[in-house]
Amino acid sequence: MFSKSCEYGIRAMIHIAQQQETTGRVSLKDIAREIDSPEAFTGKILQTLTREGLLNSLKGPTGGFELAREAGKINLAEIVLAVDGDNLFNGCALGLSTCDSEKPCPAHEKFAIVRDELTLMLRTSILDEMAMGLKNGVSFLTR
C-alpha cells in the first residue's frame, strides 16, 4: 500500500516523536537502528521530510532530527503526502492516468470506498497517539 520509503518515513516520525520528549534531537544512526532501516536510505527519507517542513535537522555533535511542529499537530496523511505524494489519495487502483466517475476503471467504485476510508484514517491518526502506543508498549516499530 505504501512505498518502502513511506513506511520508513512513518516509522521514523513515530520514533522521533517518542524520543523527542526525553532526549531532544535524535541521531540518524539511532533512527535507522530503531526502525530497522538502512542508514543511507533513512537519511534520504529524513532529508525529504525536512525539505517538506515536517522535521528540523541540525548538524554537529549535538545535532540530529526533531519534529518541526508538535507531535499532536502532525497526522500520518502529511507524512504520506511528503514522501509518496498524493497518488494514494487521488490515484487509480489500476494505475490509469485518467480514472474518475465519468470514465472509471473496473475497480473505481469499490476502490473509492477503500481510498476514502484510508484517507480518513490517515488524517485522524496523530503522531503523538502513535508515539504513546510505543511508550506504553502496546505497539512496536520492528518485528
Taking the whole predicted model, whether its pTM rises above 0.85 is answered as: yes
Q: What is the reported pLDDT for 141? A: 83
What are the residues facing 66 on neighbouring strands? 56
Distance CA 110, CA 92 (A): 11
Q: What is the reported pLDDT for 91? A: 86
**Percent helix, strand and coil across the chain, each to the nearest 5:** 60, 10, 35
Q: Which residues contact 133 (CB under 8 A, 6 or more apart)?
A: 139
Amino acid type, 62: T
Domain map (residue ranges) of the chain: 4-135
- Calculate the alpha carbon distances from 18 to 8, 57, 133, 139 in Å: 15, 17, 9, 12
Instruction: Show pLDDT as tens, one digit a residue, over the chain (143 residues).
Output: 789 999 999 999 999 999 987 888 999 999 999 999 999 999 999 999 999 999 999 998 888 999 999 999 999 999 999 999 998 898 888 989 888 889 999 999 999 999 999 999 999 999 999 999 888 888 888 77
- What is the fold, at CATH topology level, of the domain defined by 4-135? Arc Repressor Mutant, subunit A (1.10.10)
